[in-house]
Amino acid sequence: MRIVVLASGRGSNLRALLDAEQAGQLGGAHVAAVFSDRAASGALAIAHAAGRDAVALAPAHFPSRPAFDAALFDHVLAAAPDLIVCAGYMRVLCADAVARARGRMINIHPSLLPLYPGLKPHARALAAGDAEHGASVHRVVPEVDAGAVLSQVRVPILPGDDADTLAARLLPREHALLVTTVRAVAEGQLTLGPDALAWRGNPLHAPLSLKGDDRLEEAAG
Protein backbone atom coordinates (compact mmCIF):
# COMPACT_ATOMS: atom_id res chain seq x y z
CA MET A 1 0.00 0.00 0.00
CA ARG A 2 1.34 3.41 -1.04
CA ILE A 3 0.60 6.22 1.40
CA VAL A 4 0.76 9.94 0.72
CA VAL A 5 0.79 12.21 3.77
CA LEU A 6 -0.46 15.81 3.92
CA ALA A 7 0.98 17.79 6.82
CA SER A 8 1.41 21.42 7.85
CA GLY A 9 3.25 21.36 11.16
CA ARG A 10 5.96 19.62 13.12
CA GLY A 11 5.25 16.19 11.64
CA SER A 12 5.01 14.04 14.76
CA ASN A 13 2.29 11.83 13.28
CA LEU A 14 4.33 11.47 10.08
CA ARG A 15 7.35 10.44 12.15
CA ALA A 16 5.21 7.83 13.92
CA LEU A 17 4.17 6.37 10.57
CA LEU A 18 7.75 6.31 9.28
CA ASP A 19 9.04 4.73 12.49
CA ALA A 20 6.35 2.06 12.30
CA GLU A 21 7.19 1.37 8.66
CA GLN A 22 10.88 1.01 9.46
CA ALA A 23 10.03 -1.37 12.31
CA GLY A 24 7.83 -3.51 10.05
CA GLN A 25 4.71 -2.51 11.98
CA LEU A 26 2.71 -0.76 9.23
CA GLY A 27 1.26 -3.82 7.55
CA GLY A 28 3.64 -3.56 4.61
CA ALA A 29 2.49 -0.02 3.82
CA HIS A 30 5.01 2.49 2.49
CA VAL A 31 4.97 6.27 2.92
CA ALA A 32 5.71 7.27 -0.66
CA ALA A 33 5.47 11.07 -0.52
CA VAL A 34 4.69 14.01 1.74
CA PHE A 35 3.08 17.29 0.70
CA SER A 36 2.71 20.47 2.71
CA ASP A 37 1.32 23.98 2.43
CA ARG A 38 4.29 25.28 4.44
CA ALA A 39 7.83 25.08 3.12
CA ALA A 40 9.26 25.39 6.64
CA SER A 41 7.12 22.64 8.16
CA GLY A 42 8.84 20.06 10.31
CA ALA A 43 7.02 17.37 8.35
CA LEU A 44 8.93 18.19 5.18
CA ALA A 45 12.25 18.09 7.04
CA ILE A 46 11.34 14.67 8.44
CA ALA A 47 10.36 13.42 4.98
CA HIS A 48 13.60 14.68 3.42
CA ALA A 49 15.65 13.04 6.19
CA ALA A 50 13.84 9.75 5.55
CA GLY A 51 14.55 9.94 1.82
CA ARG A 52 10.92 10.39 0.82
CA ASP A 53 9.58 12.65 -1.88
CA ALA A 54 8.60 15.92 -0.18
CA VAL A 55 6.97 18.92 -1.84
CA ALA A 56 5.62 22.23 -0.54
CA LEU A 57 3.14 24.38 -2.42
CA ALA A 58 2.44 27.94 -1.23
CA PRO A 59 -1.26 28.85 -1.15
CA ALA A 60 -0.34 32.51 -1.70
CA HIS A 61 0.90 31.62 -5.17
CA PHE A 62 -2.60 30.59 -6.31
CA PRO A 63 -5.61 32.80 -7.05
CA SER A 64 -8.06 30.80 -4.93
CA ARG A 65 -8.43 27.90 -2.53
CA PRO A 66 -9.88 25.63 -5.28
CA ALA A 67 -6.93 26.49 -7.54
CA PHE A 68 -4.45 25.60 -4.80
CA ASP A 69 -6.26 22.36 -3.96
CA ALA A 70 -6.38 21.40 -7.65
CA ALA A 71 -2.63 21.89 -8.03
CA LEU A 72 -1.94 20.06 -4.77
CA PHE A 73 -4.00 17.06 -5.79
CA ASP A 74 -2.37 16.95 -9.20
CA HIS A 75 0.84 16.24 -7.27
CA VAL A 76 -0.83 13.93 -4.75
CA LEU A 77 -2.49 11.74 -7.37
CA ALA A 78 0.66 11.63 -9.48
CA ALA A 79 2.23 9.78 -6.53
CA ALA A 80 -0.36 6.99 -7.06
CA PRO A 81 -1.56 6.72 -3.45
CA ASP A 82 -3.68 3.87 -2.19
CA LEU A 83 -4.33 5.91 0.96
CA ILE A 84 -4.00 9.64 1.67
CA VAL A 85 -3.40 10.54 5.32
CA CYS A 86 -3.96 14.06 6.59
CA ALA A 87 -1.67 14.22 9.61
CA GLY A 88 -1.75 17.73 11.00
CA TYR A 89 -2.79 19.26 7.68
CA MET A 90 -4.33 22.58 8.69
CA ARG A 91 -6.27 23.57 5.56
CA VAL A 92 -9.87 22.66 4.78
CA LEU A 93 -10.00 20.85 1.44
CA CYS A 94 -12.59 21.85 -1.13
CA ALA A 95 -15.22 19.42 -2.35
CA ASP A 96 -13.53 18.83 -5.71
CA ALA A 97 -10.27 17.78 -4.03
CA VAL A 98 -12.10 15.42 -1.69
CA ALA A 99 -13.97 13.91 -4.64
CA ARG A 100 -10.70 13.32 -6.49
CA ALA A 101 -9.47 11.24 -3.54
CA ARG A 102 -12.41 8.86 -4.12
CA GLY A 103 -12.85 7.75 -0.51
CA ARG A 104 -9.14 7.06 0.04
CA MET A 105 -8.44 9.95 2.43
CA ILE A 106 -8.41 9.92 6.23
CA ASN A 107 -7.55 12.49 8.90
CA ILE A 108 -6.53 12.32 12.54
CA HIS A 109 -8.08 14.87 14.88
CA PRO A 110 -7.35 15.31 18.61
CA SER A 111 -10.86 15.02 20.02
CA LEU A 112 -13.56 12.43 20.48
CA LEU A 113 -15.54 13.42 17.41
CA PRO A 114 -18.23 14.59 16.95
CA LEU A 115 -17.08 16.61 19.97
CA TYR A 116 -14.85 19.64 19.26
CA PRO A 117 -14.17 19.65 15.54
CA GLY A 118 -11.80 22.35 14.33
CA LEU A 119 -9.39 24.35 16.44
CA LYS A 120 -8.40 24.20 20.14
CA PRO A 121 -10.09 20.88 21.01
CA HIS A 122 -8.03 20.37 24.18
CA ALA A 123 -9.03 23.72 25.65
CA ARG A 124 -12.64 23.17 24.67
CA ALA A 125 -12.75 19.75 26.37
CA LEU A 126 -11.35 21.31 29.54
CA ALA A 127 -13.79 24.21 29.41
CA ALA A 128 -16.68 21.76 29.09
CA GLY A 129 -15.57 19.91 32.22
CA ASP A 130 -15.18 16.59 30.40
CA ALA A 131 -13.83 13.59 32.31
CA GLU A 132 -12.00 12.20 29.29
CA HIS A 133 -10.56 13.32 25.99
CA GLY A 134 -9.10 11.54 22.99
CA ALA A 135 -8.35 11.39 19.29
CA SER A 136 -10.26 10.17 16.24
CA VAL A 137 -9.36 8.92 12.79
CA HIS A 138 -12.10 9.76 10.30
CA ARG A 139 -12.87 9.97 6.62
CA VAL A 140 -12.20 13.33 5.04
CA VAL A 141 -15.26 15.16 3.71
CA PRO A 142 -15.53 18.83 2.69
CA GLU A 143 -16.96 19.80 6.09
CA VAL A 144 -14.43 20.20 8.92
CA ASP A 145 -13.84 16.96 10.86
CA ALA A 146 -17.30 15.72 9.90
CA GLY A 147 -16.56 12.46 8.09
CA ALA A 148 -17.43 9.01 9.41
CA VAL A 149 -15.19 8.04 12.32
CA LEU A 150 -13.10 4.89 11.88
CA SER A 151 -11.39 4.65 15.25
CA GLN A 152 -10.84 6.46 18.53
CA VAL A 153 -8.60 6.40 21.58
CA ARG A 154 -9.45 7.84 25.00
CA VAL A 155 -7.36 9.34 27.79
CA PRO A 156 -8.47 10.66 31.19
CA ILE A 157 -8.56 14.35 32.00
CA LEU A 158 -6.79 14.77 35.33
CA PRO A 159 -7.19 17.41 38.03
CA GLY A 160 -4.94 20.36 37.27
CA ASP A 161 -4.72 19.64 33.55
CA ASP A 162 -4.31 22.51 31.15
CA ALA A 163 -4.41 22.34 27.37
CA ASP A 164 -0.66 21.67 27.17
CA THR A 165 -0.55 18.82 29.70
CA LEU A 166 -3.63 17.23 28.19
CA ALA A 167 -2.19 17.45 24.68
CA ALA A 168 1.09 15.93 25.87
CA ARG A 169 -0.71 13.00 27.51
CA LEU A 170 -2.79 12.38 24.41
CA LEU A 171 -0.03 12.65 21.79
CA PRO A 172 1.59 9.20 22.15
CA ARG A 173 -1.85 7.58 22.11
CA GLU A 174 -2.77 9.67 19.06
CA HIS A 175 0.33 8.32 17.32
CA ALA A 176 -0.58 4.76 18.26
CA LEU A 177 -4.13 5.25 17.00
CA LEU A 178 -2.97 6.48 13.60
CA VAL A 179 -0.37 3.75 13.16
CA THR A 180 -2.73 0.97 14.23
CA THR A 181 -5.56 2.25 12.04
CA VAL A 182 -3.34 2.60 8.97
CA ARG A 183 -1.96 -0.89 9.59
CA ALA A 184 -5.51 -2.26 9.78
CA VAL A 185 -6.29 -0.66 6.42
CA ALA A 186 -3.06 -1.96 4.87
CA GLU A 187 -3.78 -5.48 6.11
CA GLY A 188 -7.35 -5.40 4.78
CA GLN A 189 -9.01 -5.69 8.18
CA LEU A 190 -10.50 -2.20 7.90
CA THR A 191 -11.87 -1.35 4.47
CA LEU A 192 -12.87 2.07 3.19
CA GLY A 193 -15.53 1.44 0.59
CA PRO A 194 -16.96 4.34 -1.42
CA ASP A 195 -20.13 4.42 0.69
CA ALA A 196 -19.49 2.34 3.82
CA LEU A 197 -16.79 1.20 6.21
CA ALA A 198 -16.19 -2.43 7.13
CA TRP A 199 -14.26 -4.19 9.87
CA ARG A 200 -13.20 -7.75 9.14
CA GLY A 201 -15.83 -8.03 6.44
CA ASN A 202 -18.76 -6.67 8.44
CA PRO A 203 -20.26 -3.16 8.32
CA LEU A 204 -18.69 -0.79 10.83
CA HIS A 205 -21.53 0.90 12.70
CA ALA A 206 -19.51 2.63 15.43
CA PRO A 207 -15.87 3.73 15.77
CA LEU A 208 -13.33 1.09 16.68
CA SER A 209 -11.64 1.60 20.04
CA LEU A 210 -7.88 1.45 20.59
CA LYS A 211 -7.11 -0.46 23.77
CA GLY A 212 -4.10 -0.15 26.05
CA ASP A 213 -2.26 -2.92 24.22
CA ASP A 214 -2.80 -1.08 20.90
CA ARG A 215 -5.46 -3.45 19.60
CA LEU A 216 -8.50 -2.12 17.79
CA GLU A 217 -11.78 -3.51 19.07
CA GLU A 218 -15.39 -3.00 18.09
CA ALA A 219 -17.54 -0.98 20.44
CA ALA A 220 -19.34 -3.05 23.05
CA GLY A 221 -22.91 -3.86 22.08
Domain boundary among 46, 69, 102: 102
What length is written for the chain?
221
Give per-residue pLDDT as tens, 43-97. Answer: 999 999 999 999 999 999 999 999 999 999 999 999 999 999 999 999 999 999 9
Cβ atoms of 161 and 194 within 8 Å: the answer is no
Catalytic annotation, pick one of 30, 75, 109, 175: 109
Give per-residue pLDDT as tens, 189-203. Answer: 999 987 789 999 999
Percent residues over pLDDT 90 in the chain = 96
pLDDT for 171 equals 97
Quick one: pLDDT band at residue 102, thresholds 50, 70, 90? confident
Task: Indicate if 3 and 98 belong to the same structural domain.
Answer: yes
Cβ atoms of 189 and 199 within 8 Å: the answer is yes
Count the domains in the chain. Answer: 2
Task: Indicate if 26 and 92 belong to the same structural domain.
Answer: yes
The parent domain of residue 94 ranges over: 1-102
Domain boundary among 70, 102, 134: 102
Task: Indicate if 86 and 123 belong to the same structural domain.
Answer: no
Cβ contacts of 34 within 8 Å, gap of 6 or more: 4, 5, 6, 7, 14, 43, 44, 46, 47, 52, 53, 54, 55
Query: Catalytic: 133?
Result: no
Task: Indicate if 52 and 121 belong to the same structural domain.
Answer: no
pLDDT at 219 over 60: yes
Quick one: pLDDT band at residue 221, thresholds 50, 70, 90? low
C-beta pairs of 68-77 under 8 Å, 24+ apart in sequence: 68/37, 69/93, 69/94, 69/96, 69/97, 70/96, 70/97, 72/6, 72/35, 72/37, 72/97, 73/97, 73/100, 73/101, 75/35, 76/4, 76/6, 76/33, 76/35, 76/101
Residue 40 sits in a domain whose CATH number is 3.40.50.170
Task: Indicate if 79 and 114 belong to the same structural domain.
Answer: no
Residue 120's closest CA among 178, 65, 166, 175? 166
Q: Where are the alpha helices (DSSP H) in 84-196?
A: 95-101, 121-127, 163-186
Task: Indicate if 117 and 218 belong to the same structural domain.
Answer: yes
Residue 94's closest CA among 116, 53, 55, 62? 62
For residues 185-189, give the mean pLDDT. Answer: 96
Give per-residue pLDDT as tens, 19-48. Answer: 999 999 999 999 999 999 999 999 999 999
